[in-house]
Structure 1
């Protein structure tokens, strides 16, 4: 006979909370990749958890019968959604105590997190999944895929480069934040950087930040790190590039020129990006594996993964970020959401030059039926309605209205997220 298990109680913990060591233990057990294996390392990690429990980051403990059975970390973000800023709730470090798995703890924590940000007026939620199928079942939709390109340094194109490339340090914090914000305001999906996190990243010894200045203004930057080759070989090191940011082609060319110049030390440059056309940065984008994916001659140029996921927390509020249609029409939207009641939706929107707004009296010209994961991706712009409908994950009635409805969700660029949390 099944035994009923009480749902855990959730609460935000302060830096002086007595449960922080217990919460830290749960996180360490859940993420052995952190490598916290000694008493000294654990003590240092506890202090890291304490220092992170201040706005705009919150640690949440899930407790049952006085015991910490899970934890997570919440982030108050500002995200560019199709050119406008939107309050967005992020969640990370979701952890369940080893002795309490398969008892609904993770689902209870995620439900609490969604309600937390819904009550605070955030239309969107985002996360990086460790199990994408689990989070998709909770209503999160796929974001833009990430690609890892592996280039031979000498093949990188630096034509059109302008500016002076130099190493960045903690003293460049304000310049990095200013450059990042200029790029963010014109890039769909980018999240506003935390000052404290950026300051720590610039001071981190395991990575290097490189920037390009033009007329004394920082116009681009990137984070680099080293992966050593096997100890029995030489000249097999790899330079890994993340967070490649450039305000224009001249700045991008200068950063690529810096990477090109590293050919004497690195066998390859591995660049992680959500730009599927980044292979154009190289005169020979093949990844040196000589793998042919689809004979006779489809050469592998990248590895691809699905990462960041999006979720709507308020359907009408999220629809306000959609573009105005060329021709006015009324759209009924039926949203299937079995996990989070506030976004189980059936209503009609008036779509015209003044915006997208609910109108219960409007006679719909078309009806869109879709589940919340796919709708979340459509609003974010990471999926196209034509593709979602073609894969039988959405329907538009009448079918002749598909082009008009699809235009409502189209975006020039899919969302980009370089924030690691």
Structure 2
């Protein structure tokens, strides 16, 4: 007989064992390291948003996962979003549908808690796609020579930040969350734990009138294994509230050109290249006809609607680009049947109202994974139509629906979990 429940402190050792087996790159190499990691997890668990669950069969823990009660900016409104992380299964018990049962538990848990959407970083996209998760925004990795960054007029507000600056830094981050679709609120506890883990990193801040309006976390790595003088900077985190804050931080990076070979940025901003004097990376690769390789990109965060009615209720204050149309969505959700069914949406000059029945202009059959990407704004309706990912009763409405769900900014998430 199997059951899923929160684990206690005495079961953290088993949690670490399963984690080490499932993620060999994070293998625990010593008893001291084990104790340090154990302490970090126990400290993180003091955050009321975090909890660790175990999958038990005959009192033996065969699987694990961490659940997160997040507050996420959803088109300008804060909503509860259920996070999932650290999913692991005992190597001897793979292919026994343990992970599937844990994901089912995760969906049901947050559905009953009232979260209309779930968020996760996938270890394999296809695994979660078949469970109804849709794609989020891509991230681009640029490898830039410092001299190709803009050298601004000043860096007078730039200074290094210390642990005592973390409350103001976290305030800066959460103000950014308030303005940015997809971002997740952060607690000071988790911020402090992350700072302790990043002992070799530098926190560089833009501070004006005692207020932090931007910051970046940077670390150094060797640019050449055989040389101690060729080094790169990795920008691990970059948050800014004003163009002036960004300009001064980029100027700080620019002036490292005598010591640094490349600066590595990972960003969801698809226009990042536009401010570089030369966006090419070090590969010198080209694509026909004359496209120079400037970045590589990855697909990461996935979103999953748990309650279609609930997610559209959370959007009733949003203006849908002044469009007027009545749509019936037939939502296909075979993995989580509680969410399967039809919904009728009336849009009048961009204002949304939900109807139980009645007249509609167009009917759309859509899988919950595609609907999740659509409402987040990470994939547009026209692309879904072009790739035959949806079925629509009247194709003449495609452009209107594409305008309806168009967003100024795709969702961004910088929270690792």
Give the structure-1-normalised TM-score.
Answer: 0.93
Q: Does 1:29 align with 2:24?
A: no
Q: Once structures 1 and 2 are overlaid, which stretch shifts more, 161-170 or 185-194?
A: 161-170
- The whole-number CA distance in structure 2 between the counterparts of 1:353 and 1:163 is 47
The CA deviation string for residues 354-382 of structure 1, in whole angstroms up to 9 with x for no partner, is: 94343123211111221111110111111
Contact 1:320 1:355 in 2 (8 A): no
Q: 3-state SS of the aligned residue for 2:229?
A: coil
- The whole-number CA distance in structure 2 between the counterparts of 1:271 and 1:327 is 37
- The whole-number CA distance in structure 2 between the counterparts of 1:357 and 1:281 is 41
- Matching residue of 1:102: 95
- The whole-number CA distance in structure 2 between the counterparts of 1:411 and 1:296 is 31
State the aligned residue count.
412
Relative distance call for 1:354 and 1:256 in structure 2 (3 A) is closer
- Matching residue of 1:358: 354
Measured after TM superposition, the shift of residue 160 of structure 1 is: 6.0
Q: Does 1:380 align with 2:372?
A: no
Relative distance call for 1:295 and 1:354 in structure 2 (3 A) is closer
Q: 3-state SS of the aligned residue for 2:159?
A: strand
Q: 3-state SS of the aligned residue for 2:407?
A: coil
Contact 1:161 1:249 in 2 (8 A): no
- The whole-number CA distance in structure 1 between the counterparts of 2:277 and 2:52 is 47
Q: Does 1:46 align with 2:30?
A: no
RMSD: 1.7
Contact 2:157 2:248 in 1 (8 A): yes
The CA deviation string for residues 120-167 of structure 1, in whole angstroms up to 9 with x for no partner, is: 111111111111111111111111001000100011013365651111
Measured after TM superposition, the shift of residue 72 of structure 1 is: 0.7
2:339 to 305, 321, 343: 343
- The whole-number CA distance in structure 2 between the counterparts of 1:138 and 1:362 is 31
- Matching residue of 1:87: 80
- Matching residue of 1:140: 133
- Matching residue of 1:192: 185
Contact 2:204 2:217 in 1 (8 A): yes
Measured after TM superposition, the shift of residue 350 of structure 1 is: 2.4
- Matching residue of 1:244: 238
- The whole-number CA distance in structure 2 between the counterparts of 1:357 and 1:316 is 11
Q: 3-state SS of the aligned residue for 1:373?
A: helix
- The whole-number CA distance in structure 2 between the counterparts of 1:156 and 1:237 is 17
- Matching residue of 2:121: 128
Relative distance call for 1:379 and 1:22 in structure 2 (3 A) is same
Query: What are structure 2's unaligned runs of at least 5 residues?
Result: none
- Matching residue of 1:260: 254
- Matching residue of 1:415: 411
The CA deviation string for residues 174-197 of structure 1, in whole angstroms up to 9 with x for no partner, is: 211121122111111111112111
Contact 1:144 1:274 in 2 (8 A): yes
Stretches of 4+ aligned residues off by more than 6 angstroms = none
Contact 2:305 2:372 in 1 (8 A): yes
Measured after TM superposition, the shift of residue 101 of structure 1 is: 0.6
- The whole-number CA distance in structure 1 between the counterparts of 2:314 and 2:214 is 28
Measured after TM superposition, the shift of residue 403 of structure 1 is: 2.0
Q: 3-state SS of the aligned residue for 1:289?
A: coil
Query: What are structure 1's unaligned runs of at least 5 residues?
Result: 1-5
The CA deviation string for residues 28-69 of structure 1, in whole angstroms up to 9 with x for no partner, is: 111111130223322333333333333110000110111101
